[in-house]
Chains A and B, each alone.
Chain A
Amino acid sequence: MAKFDTIIIKVKRQQRRETKPYGEEFHLPYRPYMNIISCLQEIQKNPKTFDGRRTSPIAWEQSCLEEICGSCTMVINGRVRQACSTLVDKIGPVITLEPMTKFPVLRDLVVNRKVIFERFKQVKAWVETNQTSGPGTQIAPELAEKRYHLSKCMTCGCCMEACPQINERSDFIGPAAINQVRLFNTHPIGAKLKENRLLALMQGGGIEDCGNAQNCVKVCPKGIPLVTSIIETNREISLGLIGLLKK
């Protein structure tokens, strides 16, 4: 168990998108079993910095509080993760909270992750069907099991935050969208759009920008085999290229 009385929380804050970020430090009395959200709620009750100066309440996002929704994703002690499932007892008395760096900051710890949704639309991450009658397609249990693991993505943005190939000089589509391509290309009806999805990944900023640093799979809180998804998709693309040569 923890051997400290005070939790020191340093927050990187920012009033608006256009204004400059600044740091503020908060001290909290230690209680067992706290997570980052409960620390932020404790500060919320009476927002005063460690030297007693009154300040505005910290803004952050939260919803499910059980690592399902991804909304409380932030950079905690330099590493991206969910605030709800990060326990104070595990990461020690000094905690730094920063907003994610690969998405525009709206205020304090709140970022706009809309770009992930845009990426998913780019690769047509849906099952398209215009037949609404008749029985649905059957999926083998083995395939359903495999696809279930791919479907767990909660668009939290961890993989994109940890990716060295996504930055202000490069707009790589990111591991999450590539995983969606594999998810929907392995669906019997979704596979109708297979070639379109692969083609979407062969555009600028597409799958070729992957640098194989493999940070994505290490930081994914849902344990999605993101690297395998990228390689599998590369394989599909290679087979398509061989098909072109055979023509």
Chain B
Amino acid sequence: MDDVRSTKYMAKISSSFILKRLHSLSGVFPIGFFLLEHMLSNSLILFGAEAYNRQIHFLQSLPFVVFMELTFIALPILYHAGYGIFVTLSGRTNLSSYPFTQNYLYTLQRITGVIALIYIAVHTYETRIVNAMYGTEVSFARMQEIVANPVMFWFYVIGLAAICFHFANGIWGFCVSWGLAVSEKAQRNVGIGFGTLGLLIFIVGTASLVKLL
């Protein structure tokens, strides 16, 4: 029998196990932390154009901004999405036979993941990629221009809802996958806690979008 602490033991762990745990971890760090930062910055919209534009200038003035964006945002999201699609395709939902709450959450987690991916692709193109290619400033006015289109406004609300659900339910899943919340009571408390956080982010985010109108 090999000791847990031996490198031989480490070598026997399959890559599929490591990839799945990385998928779970990447959802919390860095993606979850980025979401919190991003939504906090967005909430400055509620304090007016000046406060929001100042925050954007601050973020743009950070050192190695492109490197940080690629390492801590783009790559983790691409990995999380890619592995997530693989996970989604390997499951087969059975809600009609087993209509239990957790089974609905399981199915919704996969659906919201796909919606979030589409939303993030469009949103990143409209803001960051357009900025990099044509130099279009990201600002309060630019965001107003985007959500002035009612289709885009509702697309943003739906995307935001999907992301908030995926984030809250995903952290609950993280606590399960890593064995942080074992008992049913702990699981429920974690669910309520992060469910509330997700709802809070959704409310603040929607208020910011409405403010832009």
Chain B residues 158 to 190 lying within 8 A of chain A, measured CB to CB, are 173, 176-184, 187
Interface contact B16-A208, CB-CB below 8 Å: yes
Interface contact A162-B94, CB-CB below 8 Å: yes
Q: Give the distance to chain A from B13, nearest Cβ to Cβ, in Å.
A: 5
Interface contact B1-A196, CB-CB below 8 Å: yes
In Å, the complex CA distance between A130 and B123 comes to: 64
Interface contact B178-A215, CB-CB below 8 Å: no
In Å, the complex CA distance between A240 and B176 comes to: 16
Q: Give the distance to chain B from A61, nearest Cβ to Cβ, in Å.
A: 21
Q: Hey, what's the 0/1 contact readout for A213-239 against B, CB within 8 Å counting as 1?
A: 111001100000001101111111111
List A contacts of B176 (CB < 8 A). Answer: 212, 227, 230-231, 234
Q: Which of A219, A228, A240 is close to B182, meaning CB atoms less than 8 Å apart?
A: A228
In Å, the complex CA distance between A209 and B83 comes to: 12
Q: Which of A79, A192, A195, A238 is close to B179, meaning CB atoms less than 8 Å apart?
A: A238
> With A169-B89, A208-B17 in contact, do A195 and B177 touch (Cβ < 8 Å)?
no
A188: Cβ under 8 A from any B Cβ: no
Interface contact A206-B14, CB-CB below 8 Å: yes
Interface contact B177-A212, CB-CB below 8 Å: yes
Chain A residues 169 to 220 lying within 8 A of chain B, measured CB to CB, are 169-170, 192-193, 195-196, 199, 202-215, 218-219
> With A211-B91, A211-B106 in contact, do A79 and B97 touch (Cβ < 8 Å)?
yes
A165: Cβ under 8 A from any B Cβ: yes
In Å, the complex CA distance between A110 and B177 comes to: 35
In the complex, the number of residue pairs spanning A and B with C-beta atoms less than 8 Å apart equals 120
In Å, the complex CA distance between A204 and B182 comes to: 24
Interface contact A235-B93, CB-CB below 8 Å: no
Q: Which of A75, A214, A219, A238 is close to B102, meaning CB atoms less than 8 Å apart?
A: A214
A244: Cβ under 8 A from any B Cβ: yes
In Å, the complex CA distance between A234 and B180 comes to: 9
A6: Cβ under 8 A from any B Cβ: no
A23: Cβ under 8 A from any B Cβ: no
Interface contact A164-B103, CB-CB below 8 Å: yes
Q: Give the distance to chain A from B34, nearest Cβ to Cβ, in Å.
A: 23
List B contacts of A162 (CB < 8 A). Answer: 94, 97-98
Q: Which of B2, B17, B178 is close to A195, meaning CB atoms less than 8 Å apart?
A: B2
List B contacts of A78 (CB < 8 A). Answer: 96-97
B38: Cβ under 8 A from any A Cβ: no
> With A234-B179, A243-B5, A247-B5 in contact, do A164 and B91 touch (Cβ < 8 Å)?
yes
List A contacts of B93 (CB < 8 A). Answer: 164
List A contacts of B62 (CB < 8 A). Answer: none
B100: Cβ under 8 A from any A Cβ: yes
Q: Give the distance to chain B from A204, nearest Cβ to Cβ, in Å.
A: 5
> With A218-B98, A231-B179 in contact, do A170 and B5 touch (Cβ < 8 Å)?
no
A63: Cβ under 8 A from any B Cβ: no
In Å, the complex CA distance between A213 and B103 comes to: 5
B90: Cβ under 8 A from any A Cβ: yes
Interface contact A219-B4, CB-CB below 8 Å: no
Q: Which A-chain residue is minimally distant from B12 (CB atoms)?
A: A199
A167: Cβ under 8 A from any B Cβ: yes
Interface contact B179-A199, CB-CB below 8 Å: no
Q: Hey, what's the 0/1 contact readout for B40-58 against A, CB within 8 Å counting as 1?
A: 0000000000000000000
Nearest 4 A-B pairs (CB), nearest first? Answer: A235-B179, A213-B106, A208-B20, A214-B102
Residues on B facing A (Cβ under 8 Å): 1-5, 9-10, 12-14, 16-17, 20-21, 87, 89-94, 96-98, 100, 102-103, 105-107, 173, 176-184, 187
Inter-chain pairs besides A210-B177, A232-B179, 20 sampled, C-beta below 8 Å? A75-B97, A79-B97, A164-B91, A165-B90, A165-B91, A169-B89, A192-B1, A195-B3, A204-B14, A205-B16, A207-B17, A209-B90, A211-B87, A215-B103, A230-B176, A231-B176, A234-B176, A234-B178, A238-B178, A244-B4
